[in-house]
């Protein structure tokens, strides 16, 4: 496409041109976009496998049936006889998600729609022309009402993205920056020695699998609803959270499974910890349990999970401490033991799967205390460039008055 544009009399328009429109790509345009942005977001996948993953991601529970929308900025004045050779200037995706909201004085949490924005990309041949900025200006407005009729007429309350280009660019476009701290736990070299027996011993943990994930998500959403309502009263601010529902968690886990199935196809996968484990639960008494759901991320583009172990990461998507509302600055011993068991199991799992670190996003004050009590080596990381949570608020409140509850990795897309 790039060479044709150079040869045709067509001249690229200014980013402010009224002929530029935000619309949806054809299947061929999607494939070209994926081919070009593979280097940015392909991770350890080859181009061939990346071109399989991206269509697959539109077929899983959260994103199928229009849950994911592909967007492009193009020029409506492009001659119709040119067919599908129209210029694609910039592209991105959005995923419709459930949002939980409470304002000070509310007696119940309201359900709304929020859109996660990802894969913002300017075609290489068109960079330097501010087309991404124009696309984002159009997108921010379009998402205010996008697909709300498919969600039972629920209001679209926000959109969110995770900036990989620092804290300034998207903020100027209306997506305000939120906390971007994470705790990094390096995986010790000898972590695979010894054993972590699932379901045995003091501080035992039980596996989270697809069989029990749905029930845990239902419990978690109830806890987050309570937390959103409580925080709104305590802070006198409007509080918002992405629902940690079953579809959201499965989107991450199915994505993880797809990548792992490719990376480990030519060599035996880990056997000491079943691959069906998606996290673990410590404790058996409801209301006192601690659990974490996690996923893996591999880097490097070589197709070999062992090539970038130091960078490869086990992300804790969601950490749940059922008793968090009642725990003070000095958490009870059973919660400390439970958290420590979950964390040490995550480290053991990471080591087996060639992951060099475990990351936990935006821990609460209680979780920070538990980390210190666990005795596990760690360091805080304030992200200044990558994965900066950013939100555009569509309500009447100022974005500076919004509290983002449970701002954890499961929200990301």
pLDDT in tens, 134-160: 999 999 999 999 987 665 557 899 999
- Give dist(CA 218, CA 213) in Å, integer: 9
Per-residue pLDDT at 1: 39
The structural architecture, per CATH, of the domain 181-383 is 3-Layer(aba) Sandwich (3.40)
**Reduced 3-state DSSP string for 32-83:** HHHHHHHHHHCCCCCHHHHHHHHHHCCCCCCCCCCCEEEEEEEECCCCHHHC
> What would the mean pLDDT of 216-235 be, rounded to a whole number?
98
User: Is the model's pLDDT at 347 over the cut of 80?
Assistant: yes
3-state secondary structure of 3: helix
Strands 205-208, 279-282: pairing is antiparallel
Distance spanning both ends of the chain, measured CA to CA: 29
Establish how many alpha carbons lie within 13 A of residue 302's alpha carbon, considering only the half-sphere containing its beta carbon.
10
Q: Which residue has the higher pLDDT, 304 or 70?
A: 70
Q: Which residue has the higher pLDDT, 267 or 317?
A: 317
Per-residue pLDDT at 270: 46
**What band does 57 get if pLDDT is binned at 50, 70 and 90?**
very high
Per-residue pLDDT at 194: 44
- Give dist(CA 403, CA 387) in Å, integer: 18
The structural architecture, per CATH, of the domain 2-177 is 3-Layer(aba) Sandwich (3.40)
Whether residue 408 contacts residue 319, with contact meaning beta carbons closer than 8 Å, is answered with: yes
Per-residue pLDDT at 85: 80
Lowest-confidence segment of 194-198, 352-356, 362-366 by average pLDDT? 194-198
288 contact partners, CB below 8 Å, separation of at least 6:
322, 323, 334, 335, 338
> What would the mean pLDDT of 275-284 be, rounded to a whole number?
90
> What would the mean pLDDT of 290-296 be, rounded to a whole number?
98
Q: How far is CA 44 from the centre of its chain?
A: 18
pTM assigned to the model: 0.92
3-state secondary structure of 350: helix
Per mean pLDDT, which of 8-17, 151-160, 252-261, 269-278 is the most reliable?
A: 252-261
User: Is the model's pLDDT at 82 over the cut of 60?
Assistant: no
Helix (H) or strand (E) holding 89: strand 88-102
What's the DSSP call for residue 151?
G
Per-residue pLDDT at 276: 73
Indicate where the chain has its CATH 3.40.630.30 domain(s).
2-177, 181-383
């Amino acid at each position: 496409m790039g060479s044709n544009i150079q040869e045709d009399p067509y001249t690229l328009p200014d980013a402010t041109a009224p002929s530029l429109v935000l619309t949806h790509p054809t299947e061929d345009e999607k494939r070209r976009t994926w081919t070009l942005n593979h280097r940015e977001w392909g991770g350890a996948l080859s181009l061939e496998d990346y071109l399989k993953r991206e269509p697959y991601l539109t077929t899983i529970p959260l994103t199928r049936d229009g849950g994911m929308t592909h967007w492009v900025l193009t020029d409506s004045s492009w001659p119709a006889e040119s067919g599908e050779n129209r210029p694609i200037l910039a592209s991105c995706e959005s995923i419709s998600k459930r949002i939980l909201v409470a304002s000070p004085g509310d007696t119940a949490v309201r359900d709304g729609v929020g859109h996660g924005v990802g894969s913002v990309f300017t075609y290489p041949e068109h960079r330097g022309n501010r087309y991404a900025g124009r696309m984002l200006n159009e997108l921010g407005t379009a998402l205010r009402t996008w697909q709300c009729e498919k969600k039972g007429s629920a209001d679209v309350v926000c959109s969110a993205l995770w900036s990989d280009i620092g804290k300034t660019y998207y903020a100027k476009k209306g997506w305000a920056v939120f906390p971007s701290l994470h705790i990094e736990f390096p995986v010790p070299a000898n972590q695979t020695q010894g054993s972590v027996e699932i379901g045995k011993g003091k501080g035992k943990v039980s596996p989270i699998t697809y069989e029990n994930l749905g029930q845990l998500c239902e419990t978690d959403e109830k806890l987050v609803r309570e937390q959103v309502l409580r925080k709104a009263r305590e802070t006198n601010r409007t509080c918002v959270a992405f629902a940690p529902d079953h579809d959201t968690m499965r989107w991450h886990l199915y994505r993880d499974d797809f990548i792992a199935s490719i990376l480990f196809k030519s060599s035996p996968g880990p056997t000491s910890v079943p691959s069906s484990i998606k996290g673990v639960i410590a404790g058996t008494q409801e209301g006192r349990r601690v659990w974490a759901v996690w996923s893996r991320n591999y880097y490097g583009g070589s197709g070999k999970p062992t090539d970038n172990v130091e960078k490869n990461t086990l992300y804790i998507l969601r950490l749940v401490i059922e008793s968090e509302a009642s725990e003070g600055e000095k958490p009870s011993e059973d919660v400390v033991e439970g958290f420590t068991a979950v964390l040490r199991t995550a480290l053991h799992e990471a080591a087996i799967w060639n992951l060099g670190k475990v990351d936990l996003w935006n821990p609460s004050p209680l979780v920070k205390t538990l980390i210190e009590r666990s005795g596990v080596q760690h360091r805080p990381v304030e992200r200044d460039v990558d994965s900066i949570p950013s939100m555009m608020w569509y309500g009447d409140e100022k974005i500076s008055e919004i509290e983002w509850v449970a701002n954890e990795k499961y929200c990301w897309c």
